[in-house]
Amino acid sequence: MLTVLTADRLFTPLETIEQPVVIVEDTRILLIGQRDAIELPQGARHLDYRGHSIAPASLDIHTHGAAGHDVMEGTAAALTAVSRHHASRGVAAYLPTTVTAPMDVMLRGLEGIADAIEHPGERAAKNEIAQLLGIHLEGPFLSHAKRGVHSPDEILPPSIELFDRFWQAARGHIRLMTIAPELPGALDLIAHARALGVRISLGHSNAIAAEAIAGIAAGASTATHTFNAMRGLDHREPGMLGVVLDRDDLFAEIIADGVHVAPAAVRLYYKAKPHGKAILITDSMSATGMPDGNYMLGNLEVQLVNGVATYNGLLAGSVLTMDRAVENFTAFTHCSLATATRMASYNPALMLGLEDRVGTLAAGRDASFNVLTESGALHTTMLRGAMSE
């Protein structure tokens, strides 16, 4: 079956095409071009999005859950609910993200997520929900001083032996790991995990600048939720934050919900980071998409009040969605929609080395699009040729 999409513009996102035509055959893009250069096929379904832009569907590399479920539940039902919710907010794929928890909880969660990755189920086969591309291991190799809501009793020193237990439980599906580089043994673990193909993110860290730089030298290539849970900037000791903002070779996440990071700080991040290294994330937890109440983040009960999730007064993840992250970042910084959508799609894919699978629109690639208004608000989504719910 052929489907033709037309709009005012399309972001690949490496280039912008005015008055585009996209021809989709089943799950794949057959052709992308300009309207005046392509003859529309007869009998095809035509979806005209005049006044809108088309961009790649998003990739969220840092999410703990949604729709009342935490990814560490590790059940098919829980992960399907999370995947369905993410798809409804324009996400084509994501990395379910762990939190520090008792060892048996972590191992069981990793095994369950690995099961879901390897056996995606009927809804995924029908292209109706977001895909799981791997696991983001956030904890337990974190700084006590910058642990946030990660349980202090379960935080552990970096250990190659312990990481290998996680790796075995996850059956090799760990793609990203957050670690504090200043901890004893951290640099050896960074090098070990990187040799296995895991991308390393510096975060939940009280590292001074020299320690952050050592982590990068050992193999780290990105930073976890910039500004949050990291040593702040001082004019004599720039700390981890100074390194993250200064290093043009380092990717860096940011939570653009206006709660975790003030809009003025978001603008500072936008001015400091090369646009090819900036990554939007949600850090969403199980309360995302739900009314105020109590929800789980790993083994912690978190309170959601007026859209802010806290545990004992500390921020505990977010209820941000990727479509709102794009819209907020555009509003906070006045950047182009092309830049914001790149931060939500191509940049995280590039950081993970998955840019040949997700985050780009081109002939032969998955037909996974977001259709956006001029302000960046999500209008509709197509995932691998199927319109999402």
Active site residue 8: no
Tokens of 257: 């919900």
User: How far apart are the C-alpha atoms of 334 and 263, rounded to whole Å?
Assistant: 11
User: How far apart are the C-alpha atoms of 35 and 144, rounded to whole Å?
Assistant: 56
Burial of 176 (0-12, 13-18, 19+ CB in 10 A): buried
Helical spans, DSSP H, in 185-296: 186-195, 209-218, 239-246, 263-272
Specify the 3-state DSSP secondary structure of 8: strand
Q: Identify the active-site residue in 283, 292, 356, 366.
A: 283
Host H or E run for residue 176: strand 174-179
User: How far apart are the C-alpha atoms of 209 and 211, rounded to whole Å?
Assistant: 5
Q: What is the DSSP string of 58-87?
A: EEEEEE-EETTEEGGG--HHHHHHHHHHHH
Tokens of 290: 């739900």
User: How far apart are the C-alpha atoms of 330 and 256, rounded to whole Å?
Assistant: 10
The residue among 10, 12, 114, 38 whose CA lies nearest residue 346 is 12
Give the residue numbers annotated as catalytic, written as ranges.
Answer: 283
